[in-house]
Chain A
Amino acid sequence: MSNLLFLSLFVAVPLVMMVILFLLPSDNKKAIRYTMAGGAAVILALAGYLTVDFLGEYNPENPDQFLFTDSAEWYSGALNIHYSVGVDGVSVAMILLSAIVVITGVFASWSIEEKTKEYFLWFLMLSIGVFGFFISIDLFTMFLFYEVALIPMYLLIGLWGSGNKEYAAMKLTLMLMGGSAFLMLGIFGIYHYSAPQGQDLTFNIIEIAKNHSMDIEEQRLFFPLTFVGFGVLGAMFPFHTWSPDGHASAPTAVSMLHAGVLMKLGGYGCFRVAMTLMPDACKEQAWIFIVLTGISVVYGAFSACVQNDLKYINAYSSVSHCGLVLFALLMMNQEAMTGAVLQMLSHGLMTALFFALIGMIYGQTHTRDIRELGGLMQVMPYLCVCYVIAGLASLGLPGLSGFVAEMKIFVGSFKHADTFHRFFVIAGCTSIVITAVYILRVVGKILFGPLYKVDKIQDTYFYVSEHNGEVHHNKLRDAVWFEKVATIGLIVSIAAIGLCPGWISNMIAGSLKFVNELFK
């Protein structure tokens, strides 16, 4: 099978699933769910096969950063747009992450009853955008998939969300689209200077990187535009404000996919497009963005400490962790950048787990306010243990994925010996402590301690809430099978990275070797 066809399968499989889903009757929810699970499993298998294949093809003496590259002409002539695919260690890691989050996301949305078919159709469109973005090496196709991934969020939040959903959906969509307006200008700049005078312009990022024909003056203008454009999706301060509202209002699986995968598009884009294609301006301007992302890291963590809504806590925690990704990328050395990619993986998995668990708890108690919850460990021990594991991964416990990533990031960052970098690295390190504060606060408050607002009637627990003078009893239960599948899948992945990080870390570092050359 040609490389083009093989990598395109990541887009084609969700597309075929969309067609199958479209043809299924809307009231046959069982068939819809099993189709989704089957399709997602196929994608996961493909991602696994790609990883194995990549590791097999890859060797340290390999002269090319990208493997499995292939290209088909799309728009010839003056525009010179190709449908080009190719992967390196970073994109393989991202594809694997996306496949894991997609399949666990399907199980986490198993209980969606309202407009199931439409929900999964949009969910698939989002997946198409995500996978397409990671396999593309042509700026136009990348941008196309990027926006394909963004727009389903509007309806997913607006229709299936909770709380102030219309506001949150509009805010999120407009802010991200505003970011992509900047990004578009950046892409035009890169395209316009993609080849030396007199040669055909190209959108292909490998060729652009090879030509490296953009002058420093132009780079100074287009680097910040591109970086900010992707940075909005990466929740960089001060463009992060969509993230808490958006995540809080989104339905469970959408939060998972959004925080777990979509926000990675931002970091990946900053790295793949802004930094690799305009390295000279990046070296010059990195300090501005180090300051901004440094603020993200610390500010996000502090904000998480004072929130009372579980989803807000995790949304701010995502701001902090995604800030760390960009922060580490801007350190521009192989070690810190490897840490950044590992952090993307680790954050993707543990945030997905967090949001899945919050969704499962919220589905029963109908509140996410930590002041209204307490002692849940007695009621739903399985979910609560998972929550503790996610929390420990988040605060960087050795043996889980967070530790590996943060270790690499801070060790790598500390290699810069000047005061400026040292200051921000130390400031960034404090976020580990602050993370522990807000994680343990939640764990202590809602999982342990005495039961709060929970009644036990004949061996069954009920959550008692008062609404408009009426007293409601919501039955509480522990996880059911599909919830267990979703959480176990994520926990196994987190532990796998934490316990044997070597193979994935080498795979990423091998590809970053080439990028590292640019910043020397």
Chain B
Amino acid sequence: MDYSQFLSMSHEISLVSLLIILLLADLVMGKKKSGFQACAIGLFAIHTVLGFTCFGESAGNAFADMYQSSDLHVLIKNILNIGTCIVLLMSYAWNEKENKEYVGEFYFLTLSTLLGMYFMISSGDFLFFYIGLELASIPMAALVAFDKKSKESAEAAAKYILTAAFSSGVMLFGISLIYGTCGSLYFDEVAYKFASATPLMVLAFVCFIAGLGFKISLVPFHFWTADTYQGAPTSITAYLSVISKGAAVFTCMAILFKAFPSSTEVWQTVLWIIIVLTIVVGNLFAMRQENIKRFFAYSSVSQAGYIMLGVIAGNEVGVSTTIFYILIYMFTNLAAFGVISIIERQAGKLNISDYNGLYSTNPKLAVMMMLALFSLGGIPPFAGMFSKFFIFVGLFKSGMIGLLFIALINTVVSLYYYLLIVKAMFIKENEKPIAKIESDKTTICAVVICTIAVIAIGFISPIYHYIESVSSALN
């Protein structure tokens, strides 16, 4: 056996060693966890930096192509690493205050899900993909239930794990049908067999996409989203809404391109319907929400629809713009969730009506939230406009003008509800606005990083150029 192929898994190996170190440290340190968090974040930051500097050099396939890695895979893992770093920074103060005893578990679970996502992303085989997906889902349920004092958190976790289990079941059924019809689980071989799609194969595909649709929270597999987002601790909601979603979208795209390239009509039809439903339902429900976390849950449902526009385009521009969109969406949503978590922790307020008059007492938080909302709504010069515009260019290239038109009209609808929050913060008056908040340094640092990224990424074209240069790996 050629052991050098393990080198292509440097991201995974590094993360596994990090996990073992954390586990041991957790054991040794006992109940006093002073400095544990700082060490963990520091180590993870080193892992992130290494990801950018040296993990990419040894990229290649391993284990008879079951594991695949290229510059593109390395890039998407690096993007997830940055996002996870920000989430960890955001949850630092919350952990210090509420979960001092359980920080070991928190880091172990979070990074385990990340490991699962790595495997999902790099899979070259349905079985390998499935294992990655489960590793990403099950610890996530524990994380959702991490707020031990809150009943809602437990309820959210129950809902999450039940739907996750169900959708895994459906997906597994789909995978078994794929195996039954194609006689293989490798993406390349499935692609070869799928060239003449029988109805059974289409059924297999639909079952499979249903399972992934759950992870991305596409309509009609989105029902868990609002409840889970609302009940989960805010930093976990942030993690779910960007990291988990980003990894799932990328995997979905990779599998569609690798395993089903010859049946584009099949999956484009299925996705067309799903995307229209996702964008419209997400938008309509977001308008009526009163809880800000539920609001962002539906906003993220509709954003997922927009990200999938790059996938359905199915061309080179589509691939690079999807990744660009994921990157920008990550910073934008994390900025918004950072502000939400600060306000939740310091003032205990989660209703949109509580945000009335926020600008008069906490101008900085309100402005950062506003920038994030503008970016989500696609208002220039913030990054969200660039990602939306580019993803639409890809979609136009593939000739789906009808879908593009629906998406464009829906951006106006989404702008309406994003402006509702801006209106609450800036225009509405409140007799008792949220008092002046002393935000903790780590969270505010995370939010500031995200805000700078939201303002700057659109103008720094080399980022997009790099994504474009590596994204040919999927075509």
- Measured between beta carbons, the chain A residues less than 8 angstroms from B464 are 75, 79
A155 beta carbon closer than 8 Å to chain B:
yes
B residues 460-474 near A (Cβ < 8 Å) are 461, 464-465, 468
A402 beta carbon closer than 8 Å to chain B:
no
> Which one of B380, B415, B423, B461 contacts A148 once the chains associate, using CB atoms below 8 Å?
B380
Interface residues on A, range: 20 to 34
- Measured between beta carbons, the chain A residues less than 8 angstroms from B465 are 75-77
Which of B17-25, B28-36, B186-194, B388-396 contacts the other chain? B388-396
- Taking A144-B381, A147-B380, A192-B397 as contacts, is the C-beta distance between A158 and B468 under 8 angstroms? no
> Which one of B316, B393, B409, B419 contacts A191 once the chains associate, using CB atoms below 8 Å?
B393
Taking the closest CB of chain A, its distance from the CB of B400, in whole angstroms, is: 11
- Taking A185-B404, A188-B396, A188-B404 as contacts, is the C-beta distance between A155 and B468 under 8 angstroms? no
Taking the closest CB of chain B, its distance from the CB of A209, in whole angstroms, is: 20
Contact code string B378-390 (vs A, CB < 8 Å = 1, else 0): 0111000100011
Q: Who on chain A is nearest to B363 by CB? A: A118
> Which one of B381, B392, B415, B468 contacts A184 once the chains associate, using CB atoms below 8 Å?
B392
A49 beta carbon closer than 8 Å to chain B:
no
Query: Once the chains bind, are A181 and B461 in contact (CB under 8 Å)?
Result: no
Query: Once the chains bind, are A192 and B423 in contact (CB under 8 Å)?
Result: no
B376 beta carbon closer than 8 Å to chain A:
no
B285 beta carbon closer than 8 Å to chain A:
no
Query: Once the chains bind, are B427 and A79 in contact (CB under 8 Å)?
Result: no
B411 beta carbon closer than 8 Å to chain A:
yes
Contact code string A105-148 (vs B, CB < 8 Å = 1, else 0): 00000000000000000000000000000000000100111011
- Taking A147-B380, A148-B380, A158-B426 as contacts, is the C-beta distance between A74 and B461 under 8 angstroms? yes
Taking the closest CB of chain A, its distance from the CB of B180, in whole angstroms, is: 40
Which of A170-178, A274-282, A487-495 contacts the other chain? A170-178
Query: Once the chains bind, are B461 and A75 in contact (CB under 8 Å)?
Result: yes
- Taking A154-B422, A185-B408 as contacts, is the C-beta distance between A147 and B390 under 8 angstroms? no
Query: Once the chains bind, are B396 and A192 in contact (CB under 8 Å)?
Result: yes
- Taking A74-B461, A144-B380, A185-B401 as contacts, is the C-beta distance between A170 and B411 under 8 angstroms? no
> Which one of A159, A170, A182 contacts B419 once the chains associate, using CB atoms below 8 Å?
A170
- Measured between beta carbons, the chain B residues less than 8 angstroms from A165 are 427
A78 beta carbon closer than 8 Å to chain B:
yes
Query: Once the chains bind, are A177 and B412 in contact (CB under 8 Å)?
Result: yes
> Which one of B317, B393, B408, B426 contacts A181 once the chains associate, using CB atoms below 8 Å?
B408
Q: How far is it, in angstroms, between the C-alpha of A178 and the C-alpha of B404 when the chains are bound?
A: 14
A166 beta carbon closer than 8 Å to chain B:
yes
- Measured between beta carbons, the chain B residues less than 8 angstroms from A182 are 408
Interface residues of B (CB under 8 A from A): 316-317, 374, 379-381, 385, 389-390, 392-393, 396-397, 401, 404-405, 408-409, 411-412, 415-416, 419, 422-423, 426-427, 461, 464-465, 468
Interface residues of A (CB under 8 A from B): 74-79, 140, 143-145, 147-148, 151, 154-155, 158-159, 165-166, 169-170, 173-174, 177-178, 181-182, 184-185, 188-189, 191-192
Question: What are 17 A-B residue pairs whose CB atoms fall within 8 Å in the complex?
Answer: A78-B316, A78-B317, A79-B390, A143-B380, A151-B374, A158-B427, A170-B419, A174-B416, A177-B412, A178-B412, A181-B408, A184-B389, A184-B392, A185-B405, A188-B392, A191-B396, A192-B397
**9 cross-chain pairs, A with B, having the tightest CB-CB distances, nearest first:** A181-B408, A158-B427, A188-B396, A144-B380, A178-B412, A75-B461, A147-B380, A177-B412, A151-B379
